[in-house]
Amino acid sequence: MNPQASLILKLAAFVALACVPLTGESFYVEMIAKMLVMAIFAMSLDLLVGFTGLVSLGHAAYFGIAAYAAALLSPKYEAANLWVVFPAAVGLSALAAFVIGLFVLRTKGIYFIMVTLAFAQMAYFVFHDTPVGGGSDGIYLNVKPSAAIGGWEPFDLSNADHQYYFILAILLLVYLFLWRVLQSPFGRVLVGIKSNEHRMQSMGYFTFRYKLGAFTLAGALGGVAGFLYAVLFGFVTPELLSWHESGNVLLMVILGGMGNLVGAVVGAFAFEGMRGVFEGWTSHWQLLMGGVIVAVVLFLPGGLSSLPGRLRRALQGDEAK
Amino acid sequence: MDFATFLIQTLNALQYGLLLFLVASGLTLVFGIMGIINLAHGSFYMIGAYLAFVLTSATGSLVLAIVLGIPLALLFGAFLEWALFSHLYKRDHLEQVLLTYGLILVFEELRSLLVGNDVHGVAIPAFLDASIRLTEVMSYPVYRLAISVVCIVLAVALYFVIQRTRLGMMIRAGNDDRTMVEALGININMIYRVVFALGVALAALAGMLAAPISSVFPNMGGQVLIISFVIVVIGGIGSVWGALVAALIVGFADTFGKVLLPEIAGMVVYLVMAVVLLWRPEGILKKG
Amino acid sequence: MSTAKTNEILLQADKLTRRFGGLVANRDVSVTIERGMIHVLLGPNGAGKSTCINMLSGDLPPSEGTIRFMGNDITGLTAAQRSKVGIGRSYQRTNIFPQFTVLENVRLAAQSRNQQPWRIFSKAMAQQWALDKARACIAEAGLDKRTDWVAGVLSHGEQRQLEIAMVLATDAQVLLLDEPLAGMGSEESAKMVDLLKRLRATRGILLVEHDMDAVFAVADVITVMVNGEMLECGPPAQIKASVAVQQAYLGTEDSLHV
């Protein structure tokens, strides 16, 4: 696809997303809002998996930590200040990612996958087993944070439409941020590390620092998604940090095609969409989801994103005959 | 902690560690020999436990259930290797993660469809349903001791298979140099199938043995899988003896963590792993 | 040593030994690399040449021995740290970023000299100094007609040239080149030999090489290794005349064609 057509398509998709609240269907507004949150989450993981080559199976930890921070840092019966609690929650996720990164980035390959999972499970136990966050029952965020600056309130998160546009705006910001980061000297090094880390080292790059930077950044952006999730649903449980969530977000990244920010967004929508459809059919929807995953790996080695190319080749093959 | 408590906790730690070894040994062999990361390994433990429940209900005896269950698990493992895992050897880890994650969802839902979501108990065989008096006020269940004995016997058997038999030689060789094994004219695909089936059977057996103690419940495989990962990380990928040492470390850390540091009991095992990562990122028994 | 002029010693490895378990891959190997000279490491397969170059580049820590670079002990430095001080290497198997363009491959190498990892908002392609340096190194390696090609589609010989360009872009004073001529046709090979001669003027080069004609065409000093030990070290004439070298090579596949 040429760059112009691609840009027009992206703009059209954005306008379509911006029009969702106009339908007035609050059910769909909330559903799409959740997809947007998951899309931010998926983009944050794509920075690691798709661009730096680090397959993390514990990314839900940073999502969950910020979600809990949103609930725990807010006063019980009044609104917290959004401009304080949002950066604080994201900062906590970044801090957790930085500290965990110091450990997990000492490993590679299969070890890295296992160790990221294990540390995420440790974070899960912090919220599941200790009274910090209400144990296995989770905790409520009773009042959504207030966006007031002094006496002026630019928007009101308890208004569903305002909240939707806030999330959409953050999605756009995160996308532009990552797009820019990937063109920076830092971003180019990450892509180099994914391609050939050993060569980067022999060219004088201390790759550990760059990977730690990417891991922390991805944790922070995962935290952005987690914070928005807590605001959207007003309720957080330890299951947000569970390894099923880490697996699901990895799935979104792969479904959309790794190393492609728009792909991560598409993957998140595809995953949540599939989940919605399957849930509508049967309570055993995970059977269908699991079956689809197994079939995709076995029969579509390049992921769903390779489907258009395959179809095109197949059609051209037919025409040639 | 008085001596009797200490003794009981030690026996518990041994039993838990040895049981984990059964699960982790298969996992580490499959990692080390085939280069496959298998998230569904915990599901085999879950399947074993449910097999024990279903077969014990049908036959009235856990021993009979285990005798029937092991061949079933072996067959199931060989089938899975043939149908799915043999397609994964040349794929990257990400695709292996993906496929085996999908398998977990399938296994859990099939379990839910076939047996339901209730928690079930499994009866301890009558001849083991007794306890040994340790002090005047404390006694220890014979069944837990029996588990430890079975696990020790299996660990010794595994040692002999790996060190003394032709299959073991191939396993060791395959672990080090795949092309050499193929050059010797050994059918590597057959080795893979046997090793995979063995891993499935060991994990399933662990589940069957644990069923009377832990009872059987949904998602019981996930917890075991992650703990097994920790064991493999601590012990070093591909090292069965590393897995044994690490499983015992984890067994003791978890058991005594619950007694001594109950507030952070769930995290003790992971803290141990973090220390090992700082000290030896390749695992304690990794060569070189 | 027969060379009359005294050159600046860049890299000096003293009695390097490397063990793998019970196996000794290198025993007491000493190598000196001087500015303006090409030092060739020669030997049959399994002689320990790769182990030696890996110890010099920092990919493998030596079990014993010291390595000095311009007088400073660098034995404990990692590969990345050695690259920083001015030691660059190319690999036996082509080791590039195949999906990047030639320019991006070399630009990344140039960027490594002024990393600024905190700059996550500026555009990499706006760093004019890195681009200029990359273009200059591409030209020096003779690849300027391929600047915008994707590296993966270059011919084998061109990929080896690209590797040299990448090493040059890291301002390396010492070039450790592992079989840069391997798998090249005679024309490509001749071009590479010319390039090496040009590069020698301002740098020190260590070459691991099998191609005998090329070795004797470019070498100022040759070290012959056998079974992990140094057999003979001296100018090409001395090596050609050496009985020990002749004997060591007789009966091996890599017999000297001289």
Residue A212: is its pLDDT beyond 60? yes
Which residues in chain C touch residue A206, judged by CB atoms under 8 angstroms apart? 80
Question: Which pLDDT tens digit goes with each residue over B204-242?
Answer: 999 999 999 989 998 899 889 999 999 999 998 878 888
Question: Which comes out higher in pLDDT, residue A24 or C219?
Answer: C219
**A210 with C108: Cβ contact below 8 A:** no
pLDDT at B284: 76
Instruction: Give the nearest chain A residue to B93 (CA atoms).
Output: A110
Contact between B266 and A296 using a beta-carbon 8 Å cutoff: no
Q: Calculate how close chain C gets to B230, using CA atoms only, in Å.
A: 28
pLDDT number for residue C134: 95
Contact (CB<8Å) C124/A185: yes
Q: Averaging pLDDT over each range in A56-60, B83-87, C70-74, which range is the top one?
A: A56-60
For the residues B270-288, what does the mean pLDDT come to? Answer: 77
In chain A the beta strands, taken as DSSP E runs, fall at: 139-140, 235-236
Whether A45 and A56 have beta carbons less than 8 Å apart is answered as: yes
> What are the residue ranges of CATH 3.40.50.300 in chain C?
7-86+174-188+202-258
**Rg (Cα) of chain B, in Å, rounded?**
19
pLDDT band at B176 (very low <50, low <70, confident <90, very high): low
Is the pLDDT at B53 greater than 80, yes or no? Answer: yes
User: Which member of C83, C111, C117 has the closest CB to residue A202?
Assistant: C83
Closest Cβ opposite residue A243 in set B84, B98, B222: B222
Of the candidates B208, B266, B243, the one whose C-alpha atom is nearest the C-alpha of residue B51 is: B208
Write down which chains contact chain B via at least 3 CB pairs under 8 A: A, C
Q: How confident is the model at residue B174 (pLDDT cuts 50, 70, 90)?
A: low
Give the A window 216-235 contacts with C, CB below 8 Å.
217
Tokens representing residue C184 in the block: 């090249």
Q: What whole-number distance in Å separates Cα of residue B16 and Cα of residue B255? A: 8
Give pLDDT, residue B196.
93
pLDDT of residue A320: 44
Q: Is some CB atom of chain A closer than 8 A to the CB atom of B83?
A: no
Span A219-255, pLDDT tens digits: 999 999 999 999 999 999 999 999 999 999 999 998 8
Tell me the C-alpha distance between B42 and B103, whole Å.
11
What does the pLDDT read at residue A309? 73
Indicate the angle between helix axes B142-164 and B3-34, nearest 10 degrees. Answer: 30
Distance of alpha carbon A27 from alpha carbon A43, whole angstroms: 25
Name which CATH class applies to A3-320: mainly alpha
State residue B182's pLDDT score: 66
Through-space distance between the first and last CA atoms of chain C, rounded to whole angstroms: 22
Interface test with A, best of C108, C125, C131 (most A CBs within 10 A): C108
Q: Is B267 on the interface with A (CB under 8 A)?
A: yes
**Which secondary structure element, helix H or strand E, spans residue A234, and what is its range?**
none
Q: Which residues of chain B are within 8 Å of residue A258 when distances are taken between CB atoms?
A: 94
CB atoms within 10 A of CB C244: 12
With beta carbons under 8 A apart, name residues in chain C contacting A207. 80
Contacts of C95 in chain A (CB under 8 A): 196, 198-199
Q: What's the pLDDT band for A318 if we cut at 50, 70, 90?
A: low
Distance from CA of C175 to the nearest CA of A (A): 12
Q: What is the arithmetic mean of pLDDT over A205-225?
A: 97
Predicted confidence at residue A215, as pLDDT, reads 98
Percent of chain C's residues with pLDDT above 90: 51
Report d(CA A4, CA A22) in Å as an integer: 28
The residue in chain A having the minimum alpha-carbon distance to the alpha carbon of residue B226 is A118
Q: Residue A185 and residue C79: Cβ atoms within 8 Å?
A: no
Identify the band that residue C4 occupies on the pLDDT scale cut at 50, 70 and 90: very low
Inter-chain residue contact A195 with C100, CB threshold 8 Å: yes
Q: How confident is the model at residue B31 (pLDDT cuts 50, 70, 90)?
A: confident
Phi–psi pair at B16, nearest 5 degrees = -65, -45
> Which residue, among A119, A63, A75, A97, has the nearest Cα to A236 in the 3D structure?
A63
- pLDDT of residue C253 exceeding 50: no
> Residues of chain C with pLDDT > 70: what percent?
94
Residue A36 has pLDDT above 90, yes or no: yes
Question: Using the beta-carbon criterion (under 8 Å), do B87 and A294 form an inter-chain contact?
Answer: no
CATH number of the domain at C7-86+174-188+202-258, out of 1.10.357.10, 2.40.50.140, 3.80.30.20, 3.40.50.300?
Answer: 3.40.50.300
Model pLDDT, residue C188: 83
**Chains B–C, number of C-beta pairs less than 8 Å apart:** 3
Of the two residues B240 and A49, the one the predictor is more confident about is A49
Chain B neighbors of C21, CB-CB under 8 A: 287-288
Choose between B158 and C257: higher pLDDT.
B158
Check pLDDT > 70 for residue A185.
yes
Q: What is the pLDDT of residues A129-155, one digit of tens each?
A: 888 877 888 899 988 999 888 888 889
DSSP-derived 3-state class of residue A99: helix
At C257 the pLDDT is: 47
pLDDT at position C258 is 42
C-alpha B83/C-alpha B95 separation (Å) is: 16
Segments making up each domain of chain A, as ranges: 3-320
Per CB-CB distance under 8 Å, the chain C contacts of A187 are: 120, 124
Exposure class string for B135-162: b at 16+ Cβ within 10 A, else e: eeeeebbebbbbbbebbeebbeebeeeb
Q: What is the rounded average pLDDT of the residues C130-151?
A: 93
Q: DSSP E strands: which ranges in A74-151?
A: 139-140
Q: Is the CB of B37 less than 8 angstroms away from the CB of A113?
A: yes
Q: What does the buried/exposed string (b/e) look like for A172-192 if buried means 16 or more CB atoms within 10 Å of the residue's CB?
A: eebbebbeebbbbbbbbbbbb
| A218–chain C nearest CA distance, Å | 13
Tell me which chain C residue has its CA closest to the CA of residue B287. Answer: C21
Distance CA(B10)–CA(B18), nearest Å, equals 12
Within 8 A of A198 by CB-CB distance, chain C residues are 95
- Chain C partners (3+ C-beta pairs within 8 A): A, B
Chain A neighbours, 3+ Cβ pairs < 8 A: B, C
pTM of the model: 0.90
A198 and C95: CB-CB below 8 Å? yes
What letter would DSSP give residue A49? I
Residue of B nearest to C21 (CA): B288
**Cα distance from A289 to chain B (closest Cα, Å)?**
7
Residue A123 CB partners (closer than 8 Å, separation 6+): A58, A61, A64, A65, A96, A241
Total residues belonging to chain A? 321
- Rounded Cα distance, C84 and C88, in Å: 9
Type of residue found at B100:
T
Residue with the bigger pLDDT between B163 and A215: it is A215
Task: Encode pLDDT of A254-264 as tens digits.
Answer: 888 888 899 89
Chain B positions in Cβ-Cβ contact with residue A291 (cut-off 8 Å) = 102, 106
Instruction: Report the pLDDT averaged over residues C175-203.
Output: 87
Q: Kindly report the number of other CB atoms within 10 A of residue A263's CB atom.
A: 24
Percent of chain B with pLDDT over 70: 93
Cβ pair A121:B226 closer than 8 A = yes
- Number of Cβ pairs < 8 A linking chain A and chain C: 90
Which pLDDT belongs to residue A317? 62
